[in-house]
Amino acid sequence: MVVNKMVDRVVIHNAALRWPVPGELLELLPGQRVSSVGRRSKYLLFNFERGTLIIHLGMTGHLRLTSHDAARRKHDHVEIIFSDGTALRYNDSRRFGAMLWAAADPLQHRRLTGLGPEPFSPGFNATYLHRISRGRKVAVKPFLMDPRVVVGVGNIYASEALFRAGIAPTRPVGQVGKAALGRLVKSVRDILEAAIAAGGTTLRNFSDSQGRPGYFRQELCVYGRTGEACLVCSAPIKQLRLGQRSTYFCPNCQR
DNA sequence: ACTGGCTCCTGAGGGC
DNA sequence: TGCCCTCAGGAGCCAG
């Protein structure tokens, strides 16, 4: 828990994340206290007295709260050292993540404006999806993964949600009816809820803040199961690329 | 306004 | 054992 901790100093070992880590953090953060933490989409919001530190973990990012003198690990790019002797370390081997600063309302930061609704919010519903998808020719899977449509649905969960909703991932979204979109909304929520309960999905090296892997992988119905029997109808699971992303589906259950 | 393709990056895994 | 190749993915960016 970092709330109420006072920043003593910031060390940037490697500023080359998705966008350069703002150097102004070096002067801005020391002397400020973390007042609260929040989240919007996959952006973590560390609210300080005079602004908000926005952190995205990308694919491989980790935050660890350690003693400030603990040995640095490979890919520890930024350290926020607190006055109580602890340090919050941002580690990200792939550097797909980001660290940004918002002097005012973080929701008005250019990376956060334009984000779609949270998947568990009332705004994410069949009527909404139906309205914004009419006339669109894009396939339903990349549409579902577009953060302007809804946030939080990555590649694995998109395939899984479409399987459970019985919708072929290649269907032009404009041709998916409202009832099917309603099933999709429910599937997305069910998948995310189950995945969160299982601690996420570990494919290679994902782990939570305690270093534990996620156990949702064993509940995946289609993702990574190319050629294996569909759990519902036994037809072989197919794989294709859609929007440069591996896509898995049952050609029999999903239409 | 849409759409599809490309890009960033490192590590894992497979083939030889 | 070691090298090389391919793949993985969140999401911004850009050309058509």
In this predicted structure, what is the pLDDT of residue A213?
A: 61
- Residue spans of the domains in chain A: they are 7-108, 126-249
Amino acid A110 reads R
Query: Mean of the pLDDT values across residues A103-115?
Result: 92
Q: Is the pLDDT of residue A205 over 60?
A: no
In this predicted structure, what is the pLDDT of residue A196?
A: 87
Query: Mean of the pLDDT values across residues A155-182?
Result: 95
Non-local CB neighbours of A62 within 8 Å, separated by 6+ positions? A90, A91, A92, A207, A209
Verify if strand B has an atom below 7 Å from the CB of A117: no
Provide, rounded to the nearest whole percent, the portion of chain A with pLDDT above 70: 95
In this predicted structure, what is the pLDDT of residue A138?
A: 93
Torsion A101-A103-A105-A110 (CA) sign? negative
Verify if strand B has an atom below 7 Å from the CB of A142: yes
Q: Domain A7-108: which topology?
A: N-terminal domain of MutM-like DNA repair proteins (3.20.190)
Query: Mean of the pLDDT values across residues A152-169?
Result: 94
Taking all residues of chain A, what is their mean pLDDT, rounded to a whole number?
91
Amino acid A251 reads P
Q: Is A217 exposed, middle or buried (0-12, 13-18, 19+ CB in 10 A)?
A: middle
Domain A126-249 part of CATH 1.10.8.50: yes
Verify if strand B has an atom below 7 Å from the CB of A122: no
Query: Mean of the pLDDT values across residues A92-97?
Result: 91
Q: Which chain A residues 182-201 have CB under 7 A to strand B?
A: none
Query: What is the pTM for the complete model shown?
Result: 0.92
Indicate the range of A139-148, A215-224, A231-240 predicted with least confidence: A215-224
Query: Mean of the pLDDT values across residues A194-206?
Result: 73
pLDDT band at A27 (very low <50, low <70, confident <90, very high): very high
- Reference A108, options A42, A54, A48; nearest CA is A54
pLDDT band at A63 (very low <50, low <70, confident <90, very high): very high
CA-to-C1' distance for A166 and C9, Å? 24
The two tokens of residue A108 are 């008005």
Chain B nucleotides with an atom closer than 7 Å to a protein C-beta: 2-13
Chain C nucleotides with an atom closer than 7 Å to a protein C-beta: 7-12
Q: Is the pLDDT of residue A210 over 60?
A: no
Q: Is the pLDDT of residue A207 over 60?
A: no
Looking across all nucleic acid strands, the nucleotide with the smallest C1' to CA distance from residue A154 is: C10
Position with higher pLDDT, A4 vs A224: A4
Query: Mean of the pLDDT values across residues A60-87?
Result: 93
